[in-house]
Structure 1
Amino acid sequence: MSNPTADRQLTAEGVAAELQKFLRERTKTDWEPDTDLFASGSVSSMFAMELVVHVEQTFKVAIAGPDLKIDNFRTVNAMTALVLRLARADDTA
């Protein structure tokens, strides 16, 4: 399995593709980047915890405090923005 953060050159397209792949495997549904996963009824708040763990492990970022809110996991676009922001913060730390 490849490590999408091996060179820390994350792109929005790469992050979104990995997230969509994970969601497709877990929910058996193809998700548009701006579809609200929770409003659809297909994804529960419990699944949000799986998303947190997946994002942290896959992209090697730490999600804590104010970033642990459902709005950051509502859409593929929101998760992608979160990952890119946290990765940039880690790189500058």
Structure 2
Amino acid sequence: MNGTTPDLGSTGTGTAGALPDPELITERITGFLTASLRVSVGPDDDYFAQGLANSLFSLELVTFVEDTFGLTVEVEDLNLDSFRTARRVTDFVLSKAGPGTGEAHADAV
């Protein structure tokens, strides 16, 4: 990442520097998952445990996250637990967006 606030796609409120609503990020992610996996995926569905996704799909998911939210997923970020559910991906996106941004949402999970 280049030290600037990442572009979190068109999920925000339009306020410069403000993080978007985590639910909007989750909706964007579940939309991608549902379209890619061709089955309805909820925010807390573990698509890997359900056999809907494999290691090849995980690369597609990481690419989606990078492209959609303007993030760089580093090698040290590649922990499957961060990508198992749409809500966990949301927490990951928020944590990469800035220090402490994912904590409040992570507590609600």
Shorter chain as denominator, the TM-score bin is: 0.7 to 0.9
Aligned to 1:80: 90
Letter in 1 for 2:97: A
| 1:70 has 2:77 as partner | no
Q: Could you tell me how far apart the structure 1 residues matched to 2:11 and 2:67 are?
A: 11
Runs of 4+ in 1 over 4 A off after TM superposition: 5-8
> Is residue 15 from structure 1 mapped to residue 17 from structure 2 by the alignment?
no
Between 79-88 and 28-37, report the one with greater CA deviation. Answer: 28-37
1:31-53 CA distance string (max 9 Å, x none): 12111110100111110000000
Q: 1:4 and 2:11 equivalent?
A: yes
Secondary structure in 2 matching 1:3: helix
Task: Output the TM-score relative to the length of structure 2.
Answer: 0.72
| Counterpart code for 1:17 | E
Q: Equivalent residue of 1:63, what SS?
A: coil
Structure 1 unmatched ranges of 5 or more: none
Letter in 2 for 1:58: T
Which stretch of structure 1 is more off in the superposition, 38-47 or 59-68?
59-68
TM-score (norm 1): 0.84
Greater RCO, 1 or 2 (C-alpha within 8 Å, sep 6+) = 1
Q: Offset of 1:4 from its aligned partner?
A: 3.1
Asked if structure 2 preserves the Cα contact closer than 8 Å seen for 1:71 and 1:78, the reply is: yes
Does the Cα contact within 8 Å between 2:11 and 2:21 map onto a contact in 1? no
Structure 1 position 66, deviation (Å): 2.2
5+ residue gaps, structure 2: 1-8, 100-109
Is the partner of 2:10 in helix, strand or coil?
coil
